[in-house]
Amino acid sequence: MSQPIPSQPPAASPSAALQAALGAATPLLWCNPGRVETPPGEQAAGARSISLADVMSAQARFRRFAPLLARLFPELAGTQGVIESELVAAPAMQRSLGLDPALGRLFVKGDHGLPVAGSIKARGGIHEVLEFAEGLALRHGLIGPGRDRPEDYLALGEPAARALFGRYRVAVGSTGNLGLSIGVMASALGFRAAVHMSADAKEWKKARLRDRGVEVVEHAGDYEEAVAAGRRQAQQDAFAYFVDDERSLSLLLGYSAAALHLREQLSAAAIQVDAAHPLFVYLPCGVGGAPAGITFGLRQLFGPHVHCFFAEPVQSPCFLVQMMAGKGNPSVYDFGLTNRTEADGLAVPRASELAAAVMAPLLSGVFTVADETLFAHLALLLQAEGLRIEPSAAAGFSGPRMLCESDAGRDYLARHGLAGRMPQATHLVWTTGGLFVPPAEYDGFLARAAALAR
Ligand SMILES: *Cc1c(COP(=O)(O)O)cnc(C)c1O
């Protein structure tokens, strides 16, 4: 007689089911029980507190530097030094994804095409380098009261400023894209620049930096180790400035300025955001600074009507485990996960505690994506919309159906009274990198997608 087959014990609680999916690296959606409808006007962020005024001052800093940036980077001449990306409707991608039009309309925010850095890191990374340069220039009297108009900032491209900047080294630890953004901007201003790269970093990203005279320090370890090594080295040098991706408020606020520009773009496209027209935003997440900055800005502008979800690889859901824990600073390795993913921009084992603290009352949720899905969506996006992105940048595309079709997502929509509003909803997938991916590398992504589809 055969043994009776024991049935699977039912999961003890939704959170036990979630834990099981997490450990098994199965795609899942977690919704944040701590989200408040109307965000506080001011929020603690590390040593200080931040508000909409800080978002606006980051935007003002970009504006002050715009004429100088236009001079330093020929590709910015057409926008007078503004580094921004397109908002585009993606109806063909919506069909390819099988997202029912009765559930809203799909748009893409194309940070994969951001000039100078080729990724979302153009926002935070460049902002922090500009803030550091501005502080030095103020202290040395190169700019100041009465000399603080954007035209005056052209002086920061002149020999006196370059000689000053050349005494300093700007350093950063990175899986690739942050290094590109910091390295390129720092060296353009005349700083020496050193980028500590993790083992995940792609060869072409290192080569691009070396071509620009940036020192690339290769590490055998992961992102966390690259950051720690860079931080240690910078501490021993009084003329070193370390951009700390795990702790930096300047990075976070640089990203947040995107919200102000997006508000203008939505309004120009006649896309309403209010109680009857919810906005859902899906943001690829590594350490959390970029998506947290943008979410902070958007929640300040749109309050309860914007719903931000972070997307992470199934093997690197560091923000998810951080938000679920609510305290401490857990690593994905603690959950038996490998932190191995082709999404190099998202290959981070431990979240930024700063970003997580800011997100506690603001974030709607986090979902995870398998690498196969990243490649499939990367290829679909080329076919459907002609957009070329890197794997990390594809992480958001499973968000809309995850939200509309999973139990956790349906529950979120029901609890927020959104189920009946979905025909008027906007789903905005943030594509975060890709502009500088070499063609041969990109063909490799397509080949991966084709092989997986077979
Ligand atoms: C860095 C990066 C992200 C996420 O930014 P974090 O600040 O690390 O969360 C997303 N996509 C790409 C392509 C990136 O390079």
pLDDT at 3 over 90: no
- Please give the distance, rounded to the nearest whole angstrom, from the Cα atom of residue 33 to the centre of ligand 1: 24
- Please give the distance, rounded to the nearest whole angstrom, from the Cα atom of residue 346 to the centre of ligand 1: 6
Mean pLDDT confidence for 320-326: 95
Average pLDDT, the chain: 94
Local confidence band at 6 (pLDDT 50, 70, 90 cut-offs):
very low
C-beta of 288 in contact with ligand 1 (< 6 A): yes
pLDDT one-digit tens code per residue, 219-276? 888 888 888 888 888 889 999 999 998 889 999 999 999 999 999 999 999 999 999 9
pLDDT at 92 over 90: yes
What CA–CA distance (Å, rounded) separates 447 from 358?
A: 39
What CA–CA distance (Å, rounded) separates 266 from 277?
A: 12
Provide the pLDDT for residue 13.
63
C-beta of 285 in contact with ligand 1 (< 6 A): yes
Provide the pLDDT for residue 212.
87
- Are 273 and 387 in contact by the 8 Å Cβ rule? The answer is no
Mean pLDDT confidence for 15-37: 93
What CA–CA distance (Å, rounded) separates 211 from 216?
A: 10
pTM of the entire structure?
0.95
Local confidence band at 183 (pLDDT 50, 70, 90 cut-offs):
very high
Mean pLDDT confidence for 370-386: 98
- Please give the distance, rounded to the nearest whole angstrom, from the Cα atom of residue 139 to the centre of ligand 1: 32
The protein residue whose alpha carbon is closest to atom 11 in ligand 1 is 432
Cα four-point dihedral sign 338, 373, 419, 40: positive
- Please give the distance, rounded to the nearest whole angstrom, from the Cα atom of residue 7 to the centre of ligand 1: 42
C-beta of 359 in contact with ligand 1 (< 6 A): no
- 331-361 burial, b if ≥16 CB within 10 A, otherwise e? bbeebebebebbbbbbbbbbbbbbbbebbeb
Provide the pLDDT for residue 278.
98
Provide the pLDDT for residue 2.
44
Provide the pLDDT for residue 134.
97
Local confidence band at 201 (pLDDT 50, 70, 90 cut-offs):
confident
pLDDT > 90: what percent of the chain?
84
pLDDT one-digit tens code per residue, 426-450? 999 999 999 999 999 999 999 999 9
Question: For residue 285, which atom of ligand 1 is closest to its CA?
Answer: 9
Question: For residue 251, which atom of ligand 1 is closest to its CA?
Answer: 7
The protein residue whose alpha carbon is closest to atom 10 in ligand 1 is 284
Question: For residue 348, which atom of ligand 1 is closest to its CA?
Answer: 8
Provide the pLDDT for residue 8.
47
C-beta of 64 in contact with ligand 1 (< 6 A): no
pLDDT at 341 over 50: yes
Alpha helices in 73-176 (DSSP H): 91-97, 121-139, 159-165
C-beta of 193 in contact with ligand 1 (< 6 A): no
Token pair, residue 303, equals: 């309050």
The protein residue whose alpha carbon is closest to atom 14 in ligand 1 is 345
